[in-house]
Protein backbone atom coordinates (compact mmCIF):
# COMPACT_ATOMS: atom_id res chain seq x y z
CA UNK A 1 0.00 0.00 0.00
CA UNK A 2 1.19 3.52 -0.72
CA UNK A 3 -0.07 6.92 0.37
CA UNK A 4 -1.08 9.95 -1.68
CA UNK A 5 2.48 11.25 -1.31
CA UNK A 6 4.17 8.52 -3.33
CA UNK A 7 2.67 9.27 -6.76
CA UNK A 8 3.74 12.96 -6.72
CA UNK A 9 7.18 11.76 -5.65
CA UNK A 10 7.31 9.44 -8.68
CA UNK A 11 6.43 12.37 -10.96
CA UNK A 12 9.11 14.57 -9.42
CA UNK A 13 11.68 11.80 -9.77
CA UNK A 14 10.74 11.42 -13.45
CA UNK A 15 11.19 15.16 -14.03
CA UNK A 16 14.49 15.12 -12.16
CA UNK A 17 15.75 12.20 -14.26
CA UNK A 18 14.79 14.04 -17.46
CA UNK A 19 16.53 17.16 -16.20
CA UNK A 20 19.79 15.39 -15.37
CA UNK A 21 19.82 13.64 -18.74
CA UNK A 22 19.09 16.96 -20.49
CA UNK A 23 21.98 18.56 -18.60
CA UNK A 24 24.29 15.76 -19.75
CA UNK A 25 23.21 16.43 -23.33
CA UNK A 26 24.20 20.06 -22.99
CA UNK A 27 20.81 21.66 -22.37
CA UNK A 28 20.86 24.83 -20.27
CA UNK A 29 17.11 25.34 -19.86
CA UNK A 30 15.07 25.12 -16.68
CA UNK A 31 14.76 21.31 -16.71
CA UNK A 32 18.53 20.97 -16.36
CA UNK A 33 18.80 23.72 -13.76
CA UNK A 34 15.86 22.32 -11.76
CA UNK A 35 17.04 18.69 -11.75
CA UNK A 36 18.64 18.75 -8.30
CA UNK A 37 15.76 20.67 -6.62
CA UNK A 38 13.28 18.27 -8.24
CA UNK A 39 15.21 15.28 -6.91
CA UNK A 40 15.24 16.86 -3.46
CA UNK A 41 11.49 17.55 -3.63
CA UNK A 42 10.80 13.96 -4.64
CA UNK A 43 12.88 12.69 -1.72
CA UNK A 44 11.01 15.04 0.64
CA UNK A 45 7.60 13.74 -0.48
CA UNK A 46 8.82 10.18 -0.23
CA UNK A 47 10.02 10.91 3.31
CA UNK A 48 6.47 11.91 4.21
CA UNK A 49 5.16 8.73 2.56
CA UNK A 50 7.55 6.57 4.59
CA UNK A 51 6.69 8.41 7.79
CA UNK A 52 2.95 7.97 7.28
CA UNK A 53 3.25 4.29 6.42
CA UNK A 54 5.67 3.76 9.29
CA UNK A 55 3.15 5.18 11.74
CA UNK A 56 0.45 2.95 10.25
CA UNK A 57 2.65 -0.15 10.47
CA UNK A 58 4.03 0.68 13.91
CA UNK A 59 7.56 0.15 12.61
CA UNK A 60 9.74 0.71 9.58
CA UNK A 61 7.56 -0.01 6.49
CA UNK A 62 9.40 -2.92 4.83
CA UNK A 63 6.79 -5.65 5.03
CA UNK A 64 7.24 -6.86 1.45
CA UNK A 65 9.58 -6.52 -1.52
CA UNK A 66 7.81 -3.46 -2.96
CA UNK A 67 8.14 -1.54 0.30
CA UNK A 68 11.77 -2.60 0.59
CA UNK A 69 12.39 -1.31 -2.94
CA UNK A 70 10.79 2.04 -2.05
CA UNK A 71 13.00 2.37 1.01
CA UNK A 72 16.12 1.52 -1.00
CA UNK A 73 15.19 4.10 -3.64
CA UNK A 74 14.70 6.73 -0.95
CA UNK A 75 18.14 6.09 0.55
CA UNK A 76 19.68 6.19 -2.93
CA UNK A 77 18.02 9.53 -3.65
CA UNK A 78 19.30 11.05 -0.40
CA UNK A 79 22.84 9.79 -0.95
CA UNK A 80 22.76 11.01 -4.55
CA UNK A 81 21.83 14.48 -3.35
CA UNK A 82 24.77 14.40 -0.94
CA UNK A 83 27.20 13.48 -3.73
CA UNK A 84 25.77 16.10 -6.08
CA UNK A 85 25.92 18.91 -3.53
CA UNK A 86 28.91 17.96 -1.36
CA UNK A 87 31.25 16.70 -4.10
CA UNK A 88 29.82 18.79 -6.96
CA UNK A 89 29.07 15.74 -9.08
CA UNK A 90 25.78 16.41 -10.91
CA UNK A 91 26.70 13.69 -13.38
CA UNK A 92 25.74 11.17 -10.69
CA UNK A 93 22.14 12.32 -11.03
CA UNK A 94 21.99 11.14 -14.64
CA UNK A 95 22.56 7.59 -13.37
CA UNK A 96 20.85 7.65 -9.98
CA UNK A 97 17.68 9.66 -10.71
CA UNK A 98 16.40 7.33 -13.48
CA UNK A 99 17.06 4.30 -11.25
CA UNK A 100 15.24 5.91 -8.33
CA UNK A 101 12.30 6.76 -10.58
CA UNK A 102 12.09 3.23 -11.99
CA UNK A 103 12.39 1.61 -8.56
CA UNK A 104 9.66 3.73 -6.97
CA UNK A 105 7.38 3.45 -10.02
CA UNK A 106 7.72 -0.34 -10.12
CA UNK A 107 7.15 -0.57 -6.37
CA UNK A 108 4.04 1.61 -6.65
CA UNK A 109 2.62 -0.75 -9.29
CA UNK A 110 3.52 -3.82 -7.23
CA UNK A 111 2.08 -2.42 -3.98
CA UNK A 112 -0.55 -4.65 -2.42
CA UNK A 113 -3.95 -3.13 -1.64
CA UNK A 114 -4.85 -2.65 2.01
CA UNK A 115 -2.63 -2.72 5.07
CA UNK A 116 -0.11 -5.54 5.36
CA UNK A 117 0.18 -7.05 8.84
CA UNK A 118 3.77 -7.39 10.01
CA UNK A 119 4.59 -10.82 11.47
CA UNK A 120 5.07 -10.81 15.22
CA UNK A 121 8.64 -12.11 14.91
CA UNK A 122 9.56 -8.98 12.95
CA UNK A 123 8.17 -6.55 15.52
CA UNK A 124 11.50 -5.83 17.13
CA UNK A 125 13.79 -2.89 17.80
CA UNK A 126 16.34 -4.75 15.66
CA UNK A 127 14.16 -4.39 12.56
CA UNK A 128 14.85 -0.72 11.73
CA UNK A 129 18.52 -1.13 12.66
CA UNK A 130 19.15 -4.23 10.56
CA UNK A 131 17.09 -3.17 7.54
CA UNK A 132 18.43 0.38 7.43
CA UNK A 133 22.03 -0.82 7.61
CA UNK A 134 21.47 -3.43 4.88
CA UNK A 135 19.66 -1.13 2.47
CA UNK A 136 22.01 1.75 3.20
CA UNK A 137 24.88 -0.51 2.20
CA UNK A 138 23.02 -1.47 -0.98
CA UNK A 139 22.32 2.19 -1.79
CA UNK A 140 26.02 3.00 -1.44
CA UNK A 141 26.83 0.12 -3.79
CA UNK A 142 24.30 1.50 -6.29
CA UNK A 143 26.12 4.83 -6.34
CA UNK A 144 29.52 3.14 -6.50
CA UNK A 145 28.35 1.37 -9.65
CA UNK A 146 27.05 4.65 -11.05
CA UNK A 147 30.35 6.41 -10.40
CA UNK A 148 32.12 3.47 -12.05
CA UNK A 149 29.98 3.79 -15.17
CA UNK A 150 30.83 7.50 -15.36
CA UNK A 151 34.52 6.68 -14.93
CA UNK A 152 34.54 4.19 -17.80
CA UNK A 153 32.66 6.57 -20.12
CA UNK A 154 34.98 9.50 -19.43
CA UNK A 155 38.14 7.43 -19.59
CA UNK A 156 37.15 6.02 -22.98
CA UNK A 157 36.42 9.51 -24.25
CA UNK A 158 39.73 10.87 -23.01
CA UNK A 159 41.72 7.97 -24.47
CA UNK A 160 40.03 8.51 -27.82
CA UNK A 161 40.93 12.22 -27.51
CA UNK A 162 37.32 13.16 -28.13
CA UNK A 163 36.28 16.64 -27.02
CA UNK A 164 33.96 16.84 -24.04
CA UNK A 165 30.31 17.49 -24.74
CA UNK A 166 28.69 20.63 -23.39
CA UNK A 167 27.20 18.70 -20.49
CA UNK A 168 30.62 17.34 -19.52
CA UNK A 169 32.45 20.61 -19.04
CA UNK A 170 32.03 20.38 -15.26
CA UNK A 171 32.89 16.67 -15.18
CA UNK A 172 34.92 15.47 -12.19
CA UNK A 173 38.42 14.18 -12.83
CA UNK A 174 39.09 10.47 -13.19
CA UNK A 175 41.11 10.59 -9.97
CA UNK A 176 38.16 12.07 -8.09
CA UNK A 177 35.76 9.49 -9.51
CA UNK A 178 38.08 6.65 -8.50
CA UNK A 179 38.49 8.09 -5.00
CA UNK A 180 34.74 8.54 -4.50
CA UNK A 181 34.14 5.02 -5.79
CA UNK A 182 36.55 3.63 -3.20
CA UNK A 183 34.93 5.62 -0.40
CA UNK A 184 31.45 4.45 -1.37
CA UNK A 185 32.59 0.84 -1.49
CA UNK A 186 34.31 1.09 1.88
CA UNK A 187 31.37 2.66 3.69
CA UNK A 188 28.90 0.36 1.94
CA UNK A 189 30.93 -2.69 2.98
CA UNK A 190 30.93 -1.46 6.58
CA UNK A 191 27.15 -1.00 6.52
CA UNK A 192 26.62 -4.48 5.06
CA UNK A 193 28.94 -5.99 7.67
CA UNK A 194 27.00 -4.33 10.49
CA UNK A 195 23.73 -5.47 8.88
CA UNK A 196 24.91 -9.10 8.90
CA UNK A 197 26.05 -8.83 12.52
CA UNK A 198 22.82 -7.22 13.74
CA UNK A 199 20.80 -9.74 11.73
CA UNK A 200 22.62 -12.61 13.39
CA UNK A 201 22.02 -11.16 16.85
CA UNK A 202 18.35 -10.63 16.02
CA UNK A 203 18.00 -14.16 14.64
CA UNK A 204 19.48 -15.64 17.81
CA UNK A 205 17.12 -13.61 19.99
CA UNK A 206 14.10 -14.61 17.86
CA UNK A 207 14.80 -18.15 16.66
CA UNK A 208 17.58 -19.32 18.97
CA UNK A 209 20.38 -19.51 16.39
CA UNK A 210 22.62 -16.95 14.69
CA UNK A 211 22.57 -18.42 11.18
CA UNK A 212 20.23 -20.74 9.30
CA UNK A 213 21.71 -20.70 5.78
CA UNK A 214 18.42 -19.72 4.19
CA UNK A 215 18.71 -18.16 0.68
CA UNK A 216 18.66 -14.52 1.84
CA UNK A 217 21.38 -15.11 4.42
CA UNK A 218 23.49 -17.20 2.07
CA UNK A 219 23.38 -14.62 -0.70
CA UNK A 220 24.07 -11.78 1.73
CA UNK A 221 27.21 -13.61 2.81
CA UNK A 222 28.18 -14.22 -0.83
CA UNK A 223 27.73 -10.52 -1.64
CA UNK A 224 29.79 -9.62 1.44
CA UNK A 225 32.62 -11.89 0.27
CA UNK A 226 32.56 -10.41 -3.25
CA UNK A 227 32.78 -6.84 -1.99
CA UNK A 228 35.49 -7.86 0.50
CA UNK A 229 37.47 -9.30 -2.40
CA UNK A 230 36.88 -6.14 -4.43
CA UNK A 231 38.19 -3.95 -1.63
CA UNK A 232 41.11 -6.31 -1.05
CA UNK A 233 42.03 -6.07 -4.74
CA UNK A 234 42.26 -2.31 -4.37
CA UNK A 235 44.22 -2.40 -1.12
CA UNK A 236 46.58 -5.34 -1.67
CA UNK A 237 46.86 -5.62 -5.45
CA UNK A 238 46.61 -1.88 -6.01
CA UNK A 239 43.88 -2.14 -8.60
CA UNK A 240 42.59 1.30 -9.49
CA UNK A 241 40.88 3.11 -12.31
CA UNK A 242 39.30 1.16 -15.14
CA UNK A 243 39.87 -2.30 -13.64
CA UNK A 244 38.36 -1.32 -10.29
CA UNK A 245 35.41 0.36 -12.01
CA UNK A 246 34.70 -2.69 -14.16
CA UNK A 247 34.84 -5.01 -11.14
CA UNK A 248 32.54 -2.71 -9.19
CA UNK A 249 29.94 -2.94 -11.95
CA UNK A 250 30.35 -6.71 -12.22
CA UNK A 251 29.84 -7.29 -8.49
CA UNK A 252 26.90 -4.90 -8.52
CA UNK A 253 25.13 -6.98 -11.18
CA UNK A 254 25.40 -9.98 -8.84
CA UNK A 255 23.96 -7.85 -6.04
CA UNK A 256 20.98 -6.81 -8.17
CA UNK A 257 20.32 -10.40 -9.22
CA UNK A 258 20.42 -11.68 -5.66
CA UNK A 259 18.32 -8.85 -4.24
CA UNK A 260 15.57 -9.17 -6.82
CA UNK A 261 15.74 -12.91 -7.43
CA UNK A 262 15.95 -14.12 -3.85
CA UNK A 263 13.39 -11.60 -2.59
CA UNK A 264 10.82 -12.65 -5.18
CA UNK A 265 11.57 -16.37 -5.51
CA UNK A 266 12.96 -17.64 -2.20
CA UNK A 267 12.71 -14.97 0.53
CA UNK A 268 12.52 -17.47 3.39
CA UNK A 269 12.03 -15.98 6.84
CA UNK A 270 12.87 -12.55 5.48
CA UNK A 271 9.68 -12.48 3.44
CA UNK A 272 11.46 -10.55 0.71
CA UNK A 273 11.88 -7.55 2.99
CA UNK A 274 15.57 -6.84 3.11
CA UNK A 275 19.08 -8.05 2.45
Convert the chain into a string of H (helix), E (strand) and C (coil): CCCCCHHHHHHHHHHHHHHHHHHHCCCCCHHHHCHHHHHHHHHHHHHHHHHHHHHHHCCCCCCCHHHHHHHHHHHHHHHHHHHHHHCCCCHHHHHHHHHHHHHHHHHHHHCCCCCCCCCHHHCCCHHHHHHHHHHHHHHHHHHHHHHHHHHHHHHHHHHCCCCCCHHHCCCCCHHHHHHHHHHHHHHHHHHHHHHHHHHHHHHHHHHCCCCCCCHHHHHHHHHHHHHHHHHHHHHCCCCCHHHHHHHHHHHHHHHHHHHHHHHHHCCHHHCCCCC
Domain boundary among 59, 79, 114: 114
Query: Are 161 and 63 in the same domain?
Result: no
- 103 and 157 both lie in a single domain: no
133-134-137-142 Cα dihedral, nearest 10 degrees: -140
Q: Quote the domain boundaries for residue 109.
A: 1-114
Of 114, 145, 167, which one is at a domain's C-terminal end? 114
Predicted pLDDT at 120: 64
Asked if residue 55 and residue 129 are part of one domain, the reply reads: no
- Judge if 176 and 198 occupy the same domain: yes
Query: What is the pLDDT tens value at each position of the chain, 275 positions in all?
Result: 566 888 999 999 999 999 999 888 777 767 778 999 999 999 999 999 999 888 887 778 887 888 889 999 999 999 999 999 988 888 899 999 999 999 999 988 887 665 555 666 667 778 889 999 999 999 999 999 999 999 998 888 888 776 555 555 567 888 999 999 999 999 999 999 999 999 888 888 777 777 777 778 888 899 999 999 999 998 887 788 889 999 999 999 999 998 888 767 766 555 544 44
The total number of structural domains in the chain stands at: 2
pLDDT reported for residue 162: 66
Model confidence pTM above 0.75: yes
Please give the backbone phi and psi of residue 50, each rounded to the nearest 5 degrees, phi first.
-65, -40
Amino acid sequence: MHTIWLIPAVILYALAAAGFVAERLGANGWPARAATPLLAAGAALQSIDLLVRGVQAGNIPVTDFAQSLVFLAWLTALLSLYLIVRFRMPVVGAFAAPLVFLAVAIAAVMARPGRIAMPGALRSAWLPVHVTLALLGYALFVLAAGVSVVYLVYEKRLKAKRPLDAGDQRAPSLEKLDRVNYQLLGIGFLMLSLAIITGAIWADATWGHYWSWEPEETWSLAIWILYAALLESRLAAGWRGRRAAALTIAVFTVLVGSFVGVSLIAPGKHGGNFG
